Structure 1
């Protein structure tokens, strides 16, 4: 067999392997906009509460949003990403859907979580700080996974990392200014998430314009 025939045979084998590893075709619509809007809206509301906007101190009103919008809707978006072959989107949406559901559970009276600490609010705050710093770790790992996707997702996860760090520090130290700083970065994170969601919603051929996500040039794989 000549070198040319060998090369052609190798390329054909590579093409077959690539096609076999590609995700199967699906009629499931892109759930990205749903997941991002749900995340952005719940984050926006809670961040305003962290800033004590309009004199609000207790964040309990966000429980409904955390259960059904940031939680259930985002969890479903993650489940729909799996058959589309989007591992990153499935992992991120499902993870943050679970985050919002677990966060809401803390503030549900019947869960008994807050009641278990009784009058020991400092212990509660320390526990919440550990909870938040754990989600910083998850977000940081997702940030690493997003480094070759696009600039918008990198910015989203980067500022979300800062938000979790500040909120955890605010819970550990009890300093209101640190908590408010976390609320400020949370609003910035929510705005970026809204932008990303709108970009996913503006489908080419069905919208008058699109929004750039800041494409990162992929390295060529031979």
Structure 2
């Protein structure tokens, strides 16, 4: 088993990567993290209105198959490895992307069913705030894992909070701030995913430091 899964080298020997009951299943953490990071990266760029894009509908396919399906599968593969935290996190955010994509899916009629734009925005705001709560719980759990995961869930919590507030208030500046933090969150996830990917290889490079905490 890779050294990173033993918590060495300050790597993500973390809750998202370490298996307490090793099996023949390869570490799916890099898949889950890259899937999460890529989808978050794209949506966050839309939220900051890069190149004049103001609507997130083009992210639907990515959210369904990369952020959604791939991440959900990563979570399912973490269960037989005995990694409760990783399984719960990947499965949860995979379900988030699938549900969010369903809301934005052209022709779904979900948002169109609301009588006013303000009502639709409030509904989205409640949806995002519920994920802020879930992410805050993951942040609490990550306090015993590594600095990298504290940063990941910390930035993600504030991202959800700002996006939810932006939906409630209708202020684009708040949504833009949430999008900017989402970009930072994506790069943190990319970093941890790369650390896992490198550590899984039997080579001189064993991973990138993520500030793993030592426990007695």
When normalised by structure 1's length, the TM-score is: 0.86
Residues 1:67 and 2:58 aligned together: no
Aligned positions of 1:16-31 closer than 5 A: 23-31=20-28
CA distance in structure 1 between the partners assigned to 2:132 and 2:203 by the alignment: 36
CA distance in structure 2 between the partners assigned to 1:204 and 1:96 by the alignment: 23
Q: Which has the larger radius of gyration?
A: 1
Q: Aligned match of 1:196 in 188, 192, 195?
A: 192
* Offset from partner CA, 1:113-170 (integer Å, 9 cap, x none): 012014x000000110010000000000111111111110110000000000000110
Shift of 1:86: 0.3
Aligned positions of 1:34-113 closer than 5 A: 34-113=31-110
SS of equivalent to 1:110: coil
CA distance in structure 2 between the partners assigned to 1:207 and 1:123 by the alignment: 55
* Offset from partner CA, 1:4-45 (integer Å, 9 cap, x none): xxxxxxxxxxxxxxxxxx954411000000000000000000
Shift of 1:111: 2.3
Q: Aligned match of 2:157 in 155, 161, 169?
A: 161
Structure 1 range deviating more: 106-115 or 87-96: 106-115
Residues 1:176 and 2:172 aligned together: yes
Shift of 1:205: 5.4
Query: C-alpha root-mean-square deviation of aligned residues, in Å?
Result: 1.3
CA distance in structure 1 between the partners assigned to 2:25 and 2:35 by the alignment: 19
Structure-2 change in CA distance of 1:123 and 1:76 (3 Å) = same
Contact kept? 2:57, 2:106, Cα under 8 Å: no
CA distance in structure 1 between the partners assigned to 2:203 and 2:128 by the alignment: 38
Unaligned runs of 5+ residues in structure 2 are 1-18
CA distance in structure 2 between the partners assigned to 1:50 and 1:139 by the alignment: 19
When normalised by structure 2's length, the TM-score is: 0.88
Structure 1 range deviating more: 55-64 or 195-204: 195-204
CA distance in structure 1 between the partners assigned to 2:143 and 2:59 by the alignment: 31
The corresponding residue for 2:181 is 185
Segments of 4+ in structure 1 off by > 3 A?
22-25
Contact kept? 2:22, 2:82, Cα under 8 Å: no
The corresponding residue for 1:131 is 127
* Count of paired positions: 197
Structure holding more helix per residue: 1
The corresponding residue for 1:17 is none
